[in-house]
Amino acid sequence: MTFSGCCRRIVLCTNVTRSGVYLRCPVVPVQACRVRPLCSSSSPVVVPGCEDTIFALSSGRGRCGVAVVRVSGAGAAGALRALTGLKRALIPRTALLRSITHPTSHELLDRGLVLWFPGPQSFTGEDSAEFHIHGGPAVINGVLQALGSLPGLRPAEAGEFTRRAFHAGKLDLTEVEGLGDLIHAETEGQRRQALRQMAGDLSRLYNDWSHQLTHCLAHMEAFIDFSEGELIEDGVLNQVDSAVSKLQVQIQKHLSDERRGERLRSGVQVVIAGSTNAGKSSLFNLLCQRPAAIVSPIAGTTRDVVETPLDIGGFPVLLSDTAGLRETDDSVEREGVQRALKRVDEADLTLVVVDSTQLPQEPQMVPGFLNHYLDNVLPKETQDHVQQRLLILNKSDLLLNEHVRLIQRALSDAFTVASVSILSCSTREGLAEFLKLLHERVKTMCADPLVGSPSLTQTRHRTNLQKSVEALRQYHKYRDVDLALSAEGLRLGLVCLGRITGKDGLLKEPRDWHLAEVVPQSVRQARLIVAVCASSKIDSA
Ligand SMILES: Nc1nc2c(ncn2[C@@H]2O[C@H](COP(=O)(O)OP(=O)(O)OP(=O)(O)O)[C@@H](O)[C@H]2O)c(=O)[nH]1
Ligand SMILES: [K+]
Ligand SMILES: [Mg+2]
């Protein structure tokens, strides 16, 4: 925020840099007011609690051609020299082929590539080294033991390298999550979404909203403190009103994505359900291309829920086969039916399988029969949600072609083409059309990671965004009643946004009174900064 003009009237304009808002007073030289970026120094970042030098096998366990052991911390250079005998200056980011030996016994452990990444230009921001060694268990253990024998070095805890990168400001929370998702991505869609999040697309969006809210809060605070002396330009609060409303609309739009980003991240829950012997397990096996579930002519074969992850055209699906739905005296089967109904309740998409040979002979009776069938399978609330179900008329090989045609004609009035599939699990007839329908359906349920603004991918994001919107409502609620409470709504909204990227709780104290790095921590602090800036200006003037 810049205070300019004569001392009687303060013109507000807010300057927000990548590292935060700062307040500039015209009487203080501009240089003195600049915000220094958080990571501007050329020395490695050492965060309190991260003083130890840590090491770990960074590639997966098990025999492999090459394994990567990473070292991070102040002792990384010493460790590199101790194991390789290097005396000359280390060349950054250049692979060197060296013999790797135990630092005390001098026994040769392996011959491999070593790399040196001086901080802060490393993943963790600290001095780091990498040993690219042969991936046998004995070689790996030998190198890990050798590193552990050096003073000040210890094995890293799970996720500690990433935690250090986070503390050093190399990655924010959403980027850390993106990195985790990228490592676990199994489909093309998941990879694209994770890469986008890791590259900071989501944090840029949330940071932009945080900056807008910071502007609003700063204006609001200045208004609270200076409006009485008419030191504030007119219409400041109206500007805040419209900015907050705009922001609310943007966040709400981002939230109403029908969980598409979350689905792409964790997989679309697709459940196969229907009467006993409809061919549910046959369809399940056909989709996962292996005999994962038992198929038999005995009704009530499947009892437990059988699950398998699938990749449907680049989109992740968690497919479940369930017990056939029927009234039964068998307590075990009854439990199976309960579990099946619960799964259908939680499903994103239910594949309702029907045995075509059970359909009424008169084609015009078929739609009524199927509607009744759907009522029995699907929970009441979802019966109208056509997007959440797909009807599959199985065993079409047992029907005459003429009968199939009549059924199709009868269905065309009652059901959309995209909601019914006629197929045979035995002959695979109709499978290609069904897969196309399924792919289309799964695709619309997942976010397209290449198009539009990034999607939120975790419940954590959703919860904090909802709280943020709720807090902005508080702003409007108290706007004409109590400005301090209204401003508190803005501050809360800001805190909730900050929690998503992890900036809240890491907010820094201002380095001097003309400079508030990142976001003011509270209304009090914001007031204080505004007050101090204004007083220093007025005093000097
Ligand atoms: N002719 C024909 N038979 C099929 C087809 N699909 C399944 N079947 C047979 O129908 C019987 C029941 O199949 P399942 O896959 O076990 O049926 P289900 O719905 O899982 O049965 P439950 O688990 O008992 O509820 C088996 O004998 C299958 O071989 C099909 O498309 N055509
Ligand atoms: K069966
Ligand atoms: Mg079955």
516 vs 370, residue with greater confidence: 370
Report every protein residue that has its C-beta within 5 angstroms of ion ligand 2: 277, 296, 301
Domains, the chain, ranges and CATH? 2-36+201-256+459-533 (1.20.120), 53-167 (3.30.1360.120), 268-445 (3.40.50.300)
pLDDT at 236: 84
**Nearest atom in ligand 1 to 282's CA:** 15
Summarize pLDDT for 66-102 with one digit per residue, the tens.
999 999 999 999 999 999 999 999 999 999 999 999 9
Query: Who lines ligand 1 at CB under 6 A?
Result: 276-282, 295-297, 299-302, 324, 394-395, 397-398, 424-426
Answer yes or no: is pLDDT of 31 > 70. no
Contact criterion met (CB below 8 Å) for 55 and 144:
yes
Look at residue 536 in the predicted model and tell me its pLDDT.
35
Q: Which atom of ligand 1 is nearest to the CA of 278?
A: 19
Give CA–CA dist 412/455, Å, rounded: 36
One-letter amino acid identity for 424? Answer: S
Q: What is the pLDDT of residue 507?
A: 38
Q: Which ipTM score applies to this complex?
A: 0.99
Cα separation values, 243 from 90, 201, 217, 399, 509, Å: 52, 22, 11, 63, 27
C-alpha of residue 283 to centroid of ligand 1, in Å: 8
Report pLDDT digits (tens) over 102-144: 999 999 999 999 999 999 999 999 999 999 999 999 999 999 9
Closest ligand (CA of 295)? 1
- Band (pLDDT 50/70/90 cuts) for residue 232 is low
Q: Which atom of ligand 1 is nearest to the CA of 324?
A: 25
Residue 7 has pLDDT above 50, yes or no: no
338 CA → ligand 1 middle, Å: 21
Q: Which residue has the tokens 């046998």?
A: 136
Distance (Å, whole) CA 176 – CA 264: 18
pLDDT digits (tens, 9 = 90+) for 378-410: 888 776 777 789 999 999 999 999 999 999 998
The model's pLDDT over 434-457, given as tens digits with 9 standing for 90+, comes to 999 999 999 999 988 888 889 999
Q: How many whole angstroms from 274 Cα to the centroid of ligand 3?
A: 10
Question: Stretch 303-313: mean pLDDT, rounded?
Answer: 95
pLDDT per residue over 168-186, tens digit each? 999 999 999 999 999 999 9
Judged by average pLDDT, the poorest of 242-251, 254-263, 346-355, 530-539 is 530-539
For 81-96, what is the HEC assignment?
HHHHCCCCCCCECCCE
What does the mean pLDDT of the chain come to?
A: 84
Neighbouring-strand partners of residue 318 = 269, 309
Residue owning the nearest CA to atom 30 of ligand 1? 395
Question: If pLDDT is split at 50, 70 and 90, which confidence band does 14 have?
Answer: very low
Would you state the pLDDT for residue 525? 44
Q: What is the pLDDT of residue 284?
A: 97
- Count Cβ neighbours within 10 Å for each residue of 20-29 and write b for 16 or more, e otherwise: bbbbbbbebe
- Cα–Cα distance, 447 to 442 (Å, whole number): 10
pLDDT at 237: 87
DSSP 4-49: ES-TTSBEEE-EEETTEEE-B-TTS-HHHHPPPPTT--SSPP--TT
How large is the average pLDDT for residues 215-224? 88
Query: What pLDDT score does 24 carry?
Result: 35
Confidence class for position 283, pLDDT limits 50, 70, 90:
very high
Distance 68 CA to ligand 3 centre (A): 45
Contact 496, 300 (CB under 8 A): no
Specify the pLDDT at position 540.
32
Q: Compute the distance from residue 323 Cα to the ligand 2 centre, in Å.
A: 9
Residue 226's contacts (CB-CB under 8 Å, 6 or more residues apart) are 10, 232, 530, 534
Residue 335: strand, helix, or coil: helix
Pick the residue with more confidence: 227 or 342? Answer: 342
| Distance from Cα 321 to the centre of ligand 2, integer Å | 12
Ligand minimally distant from the alpha carbon of residue 324: 1
Which of ligand 1's atoms lies nearest the C-alpha of 353?
Answer: 19
Looking at the CA of residue 425, tell me the nearest atom of ligand 1: 31
Strand partners, 11: 4
Supply φ then ψ for residue 153, to 5 degrees.
Answer: -105, 140
Residue of 87 and 232 predicted with greater confidence: 87
Burial class of 87 by CB neighbour count within 10 A (0 to 12, 13 to 18, 19+) = exposed
What digits encode the pLDDT tens for the residues 325-384?
999 999 999 999 999 999 999 999 999 999 999 999 999 999 999 999 999 898 887 767
Spacing, Cα 324 to ligand 2 middle (Å) = 8
Mean pLDDT computed over 253-257: 92
- The one-letter code for the residue type at 467 is K
Nearest-CA residue for ligand 1 atom 32 is 395
pLDDT of residue 221: 85
Q: How confident is the model at residue 413 (pLDDT cuts 50, 70, 90)?
A: confident
Between CA 92 and CA 95 the distance in angstroms is: 9
Percent of the chain with pLDDT over 70: 82
- Centre of ligand 1 to C-alpha 289, Å, is 16
* Cβ–Cβ < 8 Å for 359, 369: yes
Task: For ligand 1, atom 23, name the residue with the nearest CA.
Answer: 302
Which ligand does the CA of 279 lie closest to?
Answer: 1
Helix (H) or strand (E) holding 234: none
Is 60 exceeded by the pLDDT of residue 23?
no
First-to-final CA distance of the chain = 19
| Gyration radius (Cα) of the chain, Å | 31
Residue nearest to atom 13 of ligand 1 (CA): 279
